Structure 1
Amino acid sequence: MSHSTSSVALAQIGQYYRAMGGVLAKGAQHAKDRGVDEQTYLNWRLAPDMFTLTRQVQLASDFGVRGMSRLAGVEPVSLPDTETTFMELQARLAKAWEIVSGLDAEAMAADPDGEITFPAGRDQTMTLPRGVYACNMIVPNVGFHAAMSYAILRHLGVPLGKRDFMGG
């Protein structure tokens, strides 16, 4: 059986989003059980120069939506960064998955050796082969921000394990 790079990327993104939804649910419950304002958890960061939990979730959803939209040849949907609760972050992930899973699979898989140019920092762009873009940019960025979300909540004492991160 043969799989396109984009179909593998889509499956991985879906797994990350589902796992993040479960991790966030456990984080919300942990805060509630301990009588901690959820803003404490949502604004936590592992180091002063790292993003907060809220921003990590926003970025994970953005990398998936924007990256896979580019692969499908459509203008990426912009999700506003307005979430202030665990529930809103979970809804954002669900919306991101709805967008990504609704993209045209054939368009995403088309021309895997063709090039794609994308924003890469302030006033910069980068060009990569489409398959490399999916495997070396989109998926690792979603995975990184999913891992940071997990790590922040684990650091706060939320009882999480590898199965939670893997979405199992």
Structure 2
Amino acid sequence: MHVRLALPTDAPALATIYNEGIEDRVGTFETQARTSADIEEWFDGRHPIVVVTEGCDVIAYASTSSYRPRSCYVRIAEFSVYVRRDWRGKGAGRLALSSLMQECEQVGFWKLVSRIFVENAVSRRLMCSLGFREVGIYEKHGQLDGVWRDVVIVEYLFARNLT
């Protein structure tokens, strides 16, 4: 497996992987499939996206996006990690997220944040193993398929960027 910064030309592969996550109902509240054009909008020049490849295939990605529009939050990013179904459990998610963390620290973010379904034990273990802190639980944060879901808030601070 190799990791690199994502390119807009990776959008079809990212859409495929994200759509698997939407279908599986374990990682997002989203229910509508995404197109390549939707994914291309993620490439804003400010928020890193990395892909993990095996040969010519994109098998996982980790992306960041804006946390909040206020200027006081400009160096905080939300993040997501998704792995192609046939590559789950093989270290691709860890490689994607750890590489994304390096990119985010390098470009000056001081914090990464996300929300994880409380029952997503695999993601929670990954976050813990990479040094993320579970901040707390948002109860009934949103409905998915008519069912209220709780989420765990996670954060990672980049100490060298806090000065």
Q: TM-score, normalised by structure 2?
A: 0.25
More helix by share: 1
Q: Using CA pairs below 8 Å that are at least 6 residues apart, which structure has the higher relative contact order?
A: 1
More strand by share: 2
Q: TM-score, normalised by structure 1?
A: 0.25
